[in-house]
Structure 1
């Protein structure tokens, strides 16, 4: 009788398959549901408030410059105050920080909703409301890995990302109609209500936790914590590379900032320019939702880390083809494909969490978020200036080429750093 060949050689073991979390598993966690729902409500209110403020300021001043200035205030405070105020999420209990920020923002927006509020006061209130989003976002980002461990964190981040993109599209699309029915002041009052609802959800659904930083009673100054956070993030090659991956969005978000002049170039009489503008602005968020779902659902945790460099290049490469001045349908496909590649941010975020000590996450996330906003703002500003001289299509193509070059360098650097992080992911 012939001997049979053993299925495995002695001493060899197959690596067990990596466990992937599911959306249902993440949504079954009550604390995550509370964070998720509260964030969605607050973000929807903010989108309505942005449209309401634009209408309110323009109706009062009839000045495009004043309207743009108030909108710019939504970018400035986190860039300036984010690195300093984000440290509050590491000094005090994160749930408490989020609650106080929600209540303070509700009060400030309630004042904005009073008819006849002077323009200067309105600008100051907008600045303070957005400034308070920095410690709130830092506390929330630092709390999420404590609620969702391992691959659940990636799935939860993907679900939150898809929700945020969908809420933004819904808020901007429906904002005009809602404000036409309610008026700008009532829309601001609705935004105030969403902050109060978010606070109630946090009280009911998120449990108390102690402050993450253990001290001897002498709390370090905010400036000391900011410097320590900067040394932590930029002194580690792995973290430095991951931060640059996050800030790469400054290149591929640029097309959204010049979508209106791009739409004017594509106008062939079939669709009004505002409709083309809306389609262009919705293209990348649509791709991001699709990419986040596919990347989180069908790619293993270690596979995401390996694909991160290639995916980052995918965000920029399609934009180069805009130099050929394709028609609207092709432009939409290119921008959607760019948005799909943006799903690499999920892997970068998960790797960042693995590398940052839990008690320092608030400050670290705050620094990254501030740089993210700065990269977006600067990228759009430069893109607008260049589009004035060169036209929108060449500028989008140049942004894609420059971003692809940076992404390629980051991808090569990442291959030297990812092995240790992949080992950590597999061990979870």
Structure 2
């Protein structure tokens, strides 16, 4: 490879980000979107591949803390802005960036790396496993009704300009982070992301709107959405597009969903990212008319296997020896004894006979509790070496709520 790989200098950001835009189709982002990502980029954690004065590869890593089973917030590198110029494919540029990046993440002392993938088949060879899913839906609100729980009518709803409501919304979001694995604690500056609303990308929809749910003067939930007016010969046919909804209790959650279902002159509520166990699915009268479909969400890669497995708790007692394969990060290879329960865990090297054999990719897929070790074994990706070990470990690795990444990065 003739390219030079180096840490990004702030003065190079425009050229670096221009390569990213080119790799994703060559359409320039809106100025306000570009400005936000420049402000959020951490140059010292970003890499550029350069062929002379031309940037031909990009990769960044945000400083995140991610919720894991048990509620701990674990340091994680949020891998982002990865691209290779079409003129420099198949030259090892991506592999060199992934190699350097994971070495850096290890040096920074972060036990996890996480990402979302534009193409899901790219990152498995670097040890990333799909760890969460997200639901899409398009709900026909003219034919689907909601049955709401007791207390829903006690929730007051109030429309507030999104920028004015941001502080209250972020307070709700922060309270929810530890309750669901996969959520990212938003550091200062990231509160701007939910408010990003370039006029040129609205596609005929309204500016972003915000409705707050309140009880006894306290904000207990909120929803961010847009409203796209449409008219057919038979009448109004508007579409509500939900960006995010968060609530602190079932009544507030139901009140917000009912509000979205009942906005005047609309017939559809749609969204692209909700948890797979979202409660609205149990409130609707006809799930078949909701057009529900899942897709991959967050990919997880243990960078330090021992530290990663010790950082979470386990919903049942477990004592298992894992034979881990990790050709890309060989420091993880070998046998690890994991002992833990709902109070904590230890994970250390051992020479004992292995109970389960798997690669670090499968370990990442199971890490947040979204995919069971048993289902991975059924796909031939985990091998049981001691009878009973698979059931024990699969139960322990589970989560009482589905892991979920609420927004991209």
**Given the two structures, how large is their TM-score scaled by the length of structure 1?**
0.24
User: Larger % of helix: which?
Assistant: 1
Higher relative contact order, chain-length normalized (CA < 8 Å, sep 6+): 1
**Given the two structures, how large is their TM-score scaled by the length of structure 2?**
0.25
User: Larger % of strand: which?
Assistant: 2
